[in-house]
């Protein structure tokens, strides 16, 4: 079974631009989460989507947004890029969403490394 795929793998943008990252979950997985990893802040949760609905959101400004399509693929968008947005963006998929009852195992993609100049 193919793993989580993320495109593009590397991206260079300049301040003020916007960027869209894509994630395809493992076949049959319906939940997709996004994380940002930086040397200073570590791994931080951005948001989670299940059945095309945002189920959970981290503490990031509104410039960060996402969506999920009916085939469970997900995109995240960052508008008006800032230097501090340079990071490794990781997508994770899991089989389902269980609400407060449980947290599924997350399977991570290789990440998209975004550099903002």
Partner 1 sequence: SQQGEEDPQALSIQEGENATMNCSYKTSINNLQWYRQNSGRGLVHLILIRSNEREKHSGRLRVTLDTSKKSSSLLITASRAADTASYFCATGAAGNKLTFGGGTRVLVKP
Q: Which residues bind partner 1 (CB under 8 A)?
A: 4, 31, 33, 35, 42-45, 48, 50, 55-56, 58-59, 88, 90, 92, 94, 97-111, 113
Q: Kindly state the smallest distance separating residue 16's Cβ from partner 1, in Å.
A: 26
**Hey, what are 96's tokens?**
């389902």
Q: Are 6 and 109 in contact (CB under 8 A)?
A: yes
Q: Judged by CB, which is closer to partner 1: 9, or 63? A: 9
Q: Judged by CB, which is closer to partner 1: 73, or 110? A: 110
Q: Judged by CB, which is closer to partner 1: 10, or 62? A: 10
Q: Are 23 and 73 in contact (CB under 8 A)?
A: yes
Kindly give, in sequence order, each residue whose CB lies less than 8 Å from that of residue 39, ignoring residues fewer than 6 positions away.
Answer: none
In sequence order, the β-bridge partners of residue 86 are: none
């Amino acid at each position: 079974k193919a793993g989580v795929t993320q495109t593009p793998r590397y991206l260079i943008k300049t301040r003020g631009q916007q960027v869209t990252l894509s994630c395809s979950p493992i076949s049959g997985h319906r939940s997709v989460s996004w994380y940002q990893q930086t040397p200073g802040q570590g791994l931080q949760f951005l948001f989670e989507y299940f059945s095309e609905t945002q189920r959970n959101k981290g503490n990031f400004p509104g410039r960060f947004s996402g969506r999920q399509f009916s085939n469970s693929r997900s995109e995240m968008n960052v508008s008006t890029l800032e230097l501090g947005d340079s990071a490794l963006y990781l997508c994770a998929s899991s089989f389902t969403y269980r609400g407060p009852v449980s947290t599924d195992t997350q399977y991570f993609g290789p990440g998209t490394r975004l550099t903002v100049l």
